[in-house]
A and B are shown apart, each in its own frame.
Chain A
Amino acid sequence: MHFTKDHEWVSVDGDIATVGISKHAAEALGDVVFVEVPEVGKTFAKGDSFAVVESVKAASDVYAPVSGEVVEANDVLSTAPETVNAAPEADGWFAKIKISDASQLDGLMDQAAYDAFLATL
C-alpha cells in the first residue's frame, strides 16, 4: 500500500489502483456522514480533487493520488458512509482508477515512510 501526504492510500493490482483515505485521516475527520465518490468513466490528473468526504467536523476534498480513469466507485459509501470509519483501508475504499502513468507511484510513501511522516505531524 502507498500513501500520499494528503492521507490518501493506493493499493495497486496490475494497472488498477484502489484508492481511499488512510486510517489516520478517518480518525482525524471523526464520524463520516457523507461521501461523494466519482463517476465511473471520469478521468482525473494526479492531485485533482476526485471525491468529497464530509464528517461532523469538516468537509474535505480527496485528491487523486495518481492520474487515470475511474473504472469502479464504491457505491456502498453513499448509503453507508460509516464504512469509512469502520474500515478505512479496506471496505471503505473510494474508487478504482486505471492508472495512466505508473511512474507516479514512485513519488508516494510506503507504510513505514507514511508512519514516519505521521510522527512528524
Chain B
Amino acid sequence: MSTMNTVGRPTAPNQVDSKPATLTGGRGLLQNEALIFEGDGWGKTGVDLPEPKTDASDLGDLVRKDPIGLPGLSEPEAMRHYVRLSQKNHAIDLAIYPLGSCTMKHNPRLNEKMARLAGFSDIHPLQPISTVQGALELMDTLAHWLKTLTGMPAVALSPKAGAHGELCGLMAIRAAHEAKGEHEQRRKVLVPTSAHGTNPATAAFVGYSVVEVAQTEDGRVDVADLASKLGPDVAAIMVTNPNTCGLFERDIIEIARLTHEAGAYFYCDGANFNAIVGRVRPGDLGVDAMHINLHKTFSTPHGGGGPGAGPVVLSEALAAFAPAPWVVHDDNGYRLIEREEDEAEQAFGRLCAFQGQMGMYVRALSYMMSHGSDGLRQVAEDAVLNANYIKARLQDLMSPAFPDGPCMHEALFDDEWLKGTDITTLDFAKAMIDEGFHPMTMYFPLVVHGAMLIEPTETESKAELDRFIHVMRLLAEAAKAGDVDRFKGAPFHAPLKRLDETRAARSPVLRWSAPEGSNQAA
C-alpha cells in the first residue's frame, strides 16, 4: 500500500485543525455558501434584455402583480455559486463512488465529445426526417447493439430511466395478456424479497397485486416457493439478475421455464447487466422483457449528472406490443414508426412525447463502439473481479452476507461484525465520508441485516481499489478497537455534519421562505 508522500513537500497538509478559526467560518477553499435566494443579488441581471415594445398582454387579469421572487445574479456570481456547491459534493470524478446496485462508473470523455457533435446536439425532434438521417441511423445502430448483446428480437428505446423501463415492460406484458383475453384472470406479479423497491412499485402502478417470493439461505430465489405461487392468476415475475445481493440466480433457466409453463411472462430487472454484458445473453435465459440502464451499464452520466435512459428489450412474445416510436430502414433511408395506422397497430401506446434521450443514445453507442464486443466482455469480467477482490480483502475483518462462493459485481456485507461495538452501519458509512469516500449502499437489500453493498465497478484501478480497501480496513479496525467517537458523530469534516434524517423525514420543510427580516419577495 503506497501512501501519499507528504514529507518535505512545500505544501504538506497542515495537521492543525481549524486553529485559529477563520473569520468567515469557511475553511480555505471550502467556503460557506448561501442559498441562491439568500444572496444580495436582488435587482441585478446577468443579461440585458431589450425593453418590450408594448405593455399589452393577452393574460388580462392573470398578469402577475407581485414580483416573481427570482434572484438576479451576474454571470460570474451564478457561475461561482454552482461551482462552490459542486466543490462540497462527492462525484465520480473525485473518487470511487461504490454505491451498490447503482453502478456509478466513470463517464468516458469520448462519450461527451460525441454527444456534443452538432448533428446530435443541435437537432430538434420535430425537424424533417430527411435532415436527421444520421441521428436515426445512430438510434437504429444502438438498437441493433442492444438486441445483439441481450439476444432479444426487439427493443423500445424511449423509456427514460430504469423504473420507466419497468413500466414499459409490464405494460407490454399487460397488453400481451389482454390480447390473449387473460388479463382479467392474471392479476398478480411475483417479486422476490431482495428486489429493488421499484419492482413492486411498478407492478402496483400498472394495477397488479404484488406477491413476495422467499429467498434461500444463500441469497437466491427460492424456486420451490416460486413454483407454489405460480398459477393461472399470475401475470409475470420480476427477477433481478445478478440479484441485489450481488449473486447470479443459478436457477434462472428453471425459473423461466416454470414461469412460461404457468402462462406468465418473465420480466428481468436489468439494473445489474453491467456484471454479465458480453458474457450472458438474457434472451438465452428465457427472459421476456428487460430494461437496460444506459446510465449504468453503458456509462452515460448518472445521479444528478444528466437524464437517464432505460431501453427495454423484448422477446418474440412481447415484441409486437412495444411502444412507438421505433426506427426502420428501407431503400428510402431511415424513418420513425410513430402511429397505430403505421406498422404499430399492437403497440400499447407511447411512453414519451418524442424519441427519448438522444444525448444518452449517443453516449451509450460511443461507449459500445469504443469497447467493441470483446471490450464489453472485459467490462463485465473486470467488474466481477474488482468486487471479488474487495470481498476477499475485507472478509477477515467484515462479515460477508453470503461467504460461500464468489460474488458478481457487488460485495455484500452484513453488520454481524459490528455486533457489540455500539457502531451501526450508518455510523460506519458516515465515517467513510470523513475519509473522502462516498459510502456504499446501506441497509439494502432489506433481507440482509445492516447491509453494506459495495460496487466498485470495472473502472477503478487496482491502485484505487487498494487505497479504498486500506481505508476500509483502518476504519474496521478502529470500530473493533472501540474507537466509537470516530463514528458516532461522523462526518466531522464534511461541509455539513450529521444530519437529522429522522426529523427531516418526519417534519420535512418543502418550501423555501425568506429569512426573517429580509425584504425579499417569496
Contacts and interface: CB of A to CB of B under 8 A. Distances in A.
Contacts of B197: 59
Interface string B191-225: 00000010000000000000000000000000000
Contacts of B501: 31, 56
Interface in B445-460: 446, 449
A33 B443 contact: no
B511 interface: no
A33 B446 contact: no
Interface residues of A, number: 12
B502 interface: yes
B506 A81 contact: yes
Contacts of A54: 505
Contacts of B505: 31, 33-34, 54, 56
B443 A57 contact: yes
Interface SS, B side: mixed
Interface residues of B, number: 9
A1 to B, nearest CB: 25
Given A56-B501, A59-B197, A82 B506 contact: yes
A116 interface: no
A52 to B, nearest CB: 12
A58 B443 contact: yes
Contacts of A57: 442-443
Nearest to A28: B449
B502 A56 contact: yes
A34 B508 CA distance: 12
Nearest to A79: B506
A31 to B, nearest CB: 4
Interface string A48-65: 000000101111100000
Interface in B488-522: 501-502, 505-506
Nearest to A58: B446
A57 B448 CA distance: 12
B222 to A, nearest CB: 15
Contacts of B442: 57
Interface in A73-118: 81-82
Nearest to A60: B446
Interface string A9-43: 00000000000000000001001011000000000
B280 to A, nearest CB: 30
Instruction: Select the residue from B443, B446, B449, B505 with max chain A CB neighbours within 10 A.
Output: B505
A103 to B, nearest CB: 23
Contacts of A58: 443, 446
A87 B197 CA distance: 28
A28 B424 CA distance: 12
A31 B506 CA distance: 10
Interface of B: 197, 442-443, 446, 449, 501-502, 505-506
20 contacts: A28-B449, A31-B501, A31-B502, A31-B505, A33-B502, A33-B505, A33-B506, A34-B505, A34-B506, A54-B505, A56-B501, A56-B502, A56-B505, A57-B442, A57-B443, A58-B443, A58-B446, A59-B197, A60-B446, A81-B506
Q: Which 5 A-B pairs have the closest CB atoms?
A: A33-B505, A31-B502, A57-B443, A33-B506, A56-B501
Given A28-B449, A60-B446, 14 more contacts: A31-B502, A33-B502, A33-B506, A34-B505, A54-B505, A56-B501, A56-B502, A57-B442, A57-B443, A58-B443, A58-B446, A59-B197, A81-B506, A82-B506
